[in-house]
Chains A and B, each alone.
Chain A
Amino acid sequence: MINQSRYSLLFSFFQELGEVGSLVGKTLRNIFRKPWEKNIFIQQLEEVGVRSLPVVSLTAAFGGLVFGLQTYIGFHRFIGHGSEAYGGPIISLGLSKEIIPILVGLMISGRVGSAIAAEIGTMKITEQIDALYSLGADPNRYLVAPRTLACFIMLPCLTLYGDIIGIAAGYFYNVVLMGVNHFIYFENTLLYLEIWDVITGLIKAAFFGIIIAIVGCWQGLKAEGGAEGVGKATTRTVVIASISIIILNFLLSKALPGTLSG
């Protein structure tokens, strides 16, 4: 009995993995194939990108502030008074490589991933997905592909924007609030922060974007059983996307080179 249920759990895990795999495959094919659903794509760019700016601004600003705060304390405690200005590159590196991409990924999972699952899930249970088929529109091409492409493009943009806000907030906390030496902070940041650090974060964000869109569409398309089913799809999307993002973040940090200059 126990063995059987263990096998069936394993079986359904691989079955779901297969589902996601074929969804990704189909979506990639549709992204590279014309005709494009241009209007939907532009609408999604706005939905994912522009409408997320307030959320990203707030989280990036406070992320930058608190990271600036703890780095200040760290330098003050372990190296001593006056050394805090050397925290500049650490703050900027930590923010652009890890903290901002993760924060943006998690926030967008909650804001956009859940919305995708709810919208597509509602379309599924009210036969709108069936109606798309019957009226000659492939739901993957019409719904999944434009959302995936929009998230893939917009997550790096939002991350870059978040980097700027976050790094500015770290600077603000240290230099403006705590009176750290502006020149040392600034010079060291310019000296040690590499463009690659920022790019690493953007590459990760692009992957997070794909995860968010694919998980949301996948859960939405398999929603069933009325409003309750849509609710479940939404919750699952946020949980699955968030966990995947955190795990993938570690794997990518490990796999991507730490620096490109030797």
Chain B
Amino acid sequence: MIKIVNLYKSFGQNKVLQGVDLTIERGETLVIIGQSGSGKSVLVKHLIGIIKPDRGNIFVDGVEIVNLKEDELHKIRGKFGMLFQGAALFDSMTVAQNVSFGLERYTDYLPGKIQEVVEESLAKVGLKGVENLMPHELSGGMKKRVGLARAIAYWPEIILYDEPSTGIDPIRADAIINLIDRMKKELKVTSVIITHDMTSSYKVADRIAMLYGGKIIEIGTPEEIKRSENQVIQQFIHGQAEGPIENW
């Protein structure tokens, strides 16, 4: 279980998070929605200690991680897999080296086993025979899928997906959403998904949370969110230019 308590983060004058409270239950799929630039990526990066908050606490399975030392943080990070918004593949390495990177650091698998798991992970995201390609030889959607294979390769308990379907054609996007759903059901992983795609949110989410003005303004099941009386939420989920959210 992950518990975020009263989290604040600013970059200079830019107040991004202003008191976020959020609890993520074990095994649930939580979708975080919000405008571009509202701080969704920043929030999620706090969970693995890449960004340190100005104020507030984060508990992962009961352990407060904000003030952990690097080697203790290493253990916590091994529970997480993260798919980055821009895939963030290491561009000096082949696809196989990318996918095996976490395996080499979080498991004690031998090289043969690592190669096997790399192939398996790539197969899960529908890629075959790309092991020796370099990232610049892949299309945007393929990069994202390799990024996903890299994030799930070492069996993390919690997977953070930063816009998994953005920049991918709708059919592949749906396939990725199905994969996320399958991993939840088969492996009982906890998933945190950042997305703008309301259709897939309704499909996979146990709960949906909206980040607005530096806070989680509402959290609930897809049904509850659809019926929300909050005008901000109605405007966002229906994608309307008119409403309380300033759009320029």
List chain A positions with a Cβ less than 8 A from chain B.
122-123, 126-128, 130-131, 133-138
Contacts and interface: CB of A to CB of B under 8 A. Distances in A.
A136 B102 contact: yes
Interface in B69-111: 70, 74, 77-78, 80-82, 84-86, 88-91, 101-102, 105-106
Contact of B48 (A123, A126, A133, A138): A133
Contacts of A136: 74, 77-78, 102, 105-106
A162 B88 CA distance: 40
Contacts of A137: 101, 105
- Taking chain B's interface residues, is the majority helix, strand, or loop, or is none over half, making it mixed? mixed
Q: Which of A126, A134, A136 has the most CB of B within 10 A?
A: A134
Contact of B50 (A122, A123, A126, A130): A130
Contact of A127 (B81, B84, B101): B84
Nearest to A130: B50
A134 B82 contact: yes
Nearest to A141: B70
Q: Can you list the 9 inter-chain pairs with the closest CB atoms, starting with the nearest?
A: A136-B105, A127-B88, A135-B102, A131-B88, A134-B82, A127-B84, A135-B101, A133-B50, A130-B50
A127 B48 contact: no
Given A134-B151, A136-B102, 18 more contacts: A122-B91, A126-B88, A126-B91, A127-B84, A128-B89, A130-B50, A130-B88, A131-B89, A134-B50, A134-B82, A134-B84, A134-B102, A135-B105, A135-B106, A136-B77, A136-B105, A136-B106, A137-B101
A10 to B, nearest CB: 18
Interface residues of B, number: 24
A138 B48 CA distance: 13
Q: Which of A122, A123, A127 has the most CB of B within 10 A?
A: A127
B49 interface: yes
B8 to A, nearest CB: 20
B40 interface: no
Given A128-B90, A128-B91, A130-B88, A138 B50 contact: no
B150 interface: yes
B106 A134 contact: no
A131 B80 CA distance: 12
A127 B86 contact: yes
A133 B65 CA distance: 14
8 contacts: A127-B85, A134-B84, A134-B102, A134-B151, A135-B105, A136-B74, A136-B77, A138-B70
Contacts of A123: 90
B99 to A, nearest CB: 10
B188 interface: no
A134 B77 contact: yes
Given A133-B77, A136-B74, A126 B102 contact: no
Contacts of A131: 82, 84, 88-90
Contacts of B91: 122, 126, 128
B9 to A, nearest CB: 15
A126 B89 CA distance: 9
Interface in B33-89: 45, 48-50, 70, 74, 77-78, 80-82, 84-86, 88-89
